[in-house]
């Protein structure tokens, strides 16, 4: 379950957002094994506070998820760091980010790849065409068949998955036209309503 941070960030009183951003990198990412120089540079370059409501800017750099309203959640920076480490994006990749809201993850990806497309989880992403890398900003309980159609034959997908109520990070590749996911580790994702499993009826 995603825990939403309500407290102010741990930066010193009066510290600017840049200081808080660097503190996030040092105290949340580096200590957790996120040490890729290009990925850390992306986190430093993208103002996380720009992706939360004005009233929540004080908690933008907390080490937990931030509620954005209307059920949307900004995952912790560590979750996005784990995703990008697993994804290994390159400048040659065409990246599709699916999520609600997904903007922060897309902005990070844009620092690492030349072409990034952002689509809502409830949008018509199934017609987005094939991409070398698909990033799902949230956890999938049920894997849509159409998701395989947006992953290129030699591409990969990084997403959260829900397993017995626990969210985990997963890396997937297309095998014989089907997506095969490998769970990597536990990670703090918010489940996406568009990918919740449908109730199964028995008689």
Q: What are the helix (H) ranges across the chain? A: 17-24, 37-45, 77-87, 103-110
Other C-beta atoms within 10 Å of 102: how many? 23
What's residue 141's pLDDT?
Answer: 87
Joined together, the tokens standing for residue 120 give: 């809502």
φ/ψ (deg, to 5) at 172: -125, 150
Q: Rounded to two decimals, what is the model's pTM?
A: 0.88
Q: Which of 94, 101, 93, 186 is nearest to 136 (CA)?
A: 101
Q: Write the pLDDT tens digit of every residue in 120-179.
A: 988 888 888 999 999 999 999 888 888 889 999 889 999 999 988 899 999 999 888 888
CB contact set of 126 (below 8 Å; sequence gap of 6+):
144, 146, 147, 149, 150
Burial 148-187 (b: 16+ CB within 10 A, else e): bbbbeeebbbbbbbbeeeebbbbbbebeeeebebeebeeb
Residue that wins the pLDDT comparison between 70 and 4: 70
CA distance 104 to 30: 19
pLDDT of 78 over the 60 cut:
yes
pLDDT of 3 over the 50 cut:
no
Q: Write the pLDDT tens digit of every residue in 5-60.
A: 444 444 443 458 889 999 999 999 999 999 999 999 999 999 999 999 999 999 99
Domains in the chain and their CATH numbers?
A: 17-195 (3.40.50.150)
Torsion of CA 80, 83, 88, 89, to 10 degrees: -60
What's residue 12's pLDDT?
Answer: 41
């Amino acid at each position: 379950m995603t825990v939403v941070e309500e407290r102010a960030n741990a930066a010193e009183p009066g510290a600017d957002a840049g200081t808080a951003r660097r503190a996030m990198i040092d105290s949340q990412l580096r200590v957790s094994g996120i040490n890729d120089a290009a990925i850390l540079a992306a986190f430093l370059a993208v103002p996380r506070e720009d992706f939360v409501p004005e009233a929540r800017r004080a908690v933008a750099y907390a080490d937990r998820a931030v509620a954005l309203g209307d059920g949307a959640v900004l995952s912790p920076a560590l979750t996005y760091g784990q995703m990008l480490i697993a994804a290994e994006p390159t400048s040659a990749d065409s990246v599709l980010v699916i999520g609600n809201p997904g903007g922060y993850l897309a902005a990070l990806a844009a620092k690492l790849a030349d072409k990034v497309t952002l689509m809502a989880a409830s949008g018509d992403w199934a017609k987005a065409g094939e991409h070398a890398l698909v990033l799902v900003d949230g956890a999938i309980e049920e894997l849509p068949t159409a998701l395989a159609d947006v992953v290129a034959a030699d591409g990969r997908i990084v997403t959260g998955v829900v397993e017995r109520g626990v969210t985990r990070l997963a890396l997937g590749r297309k095998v014989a036209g089907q997506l095969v996911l490998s769970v990597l580790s536990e990670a703090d994702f918010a489940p996406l309503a568009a990918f919740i499993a449908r109730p199964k009826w028995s008689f």
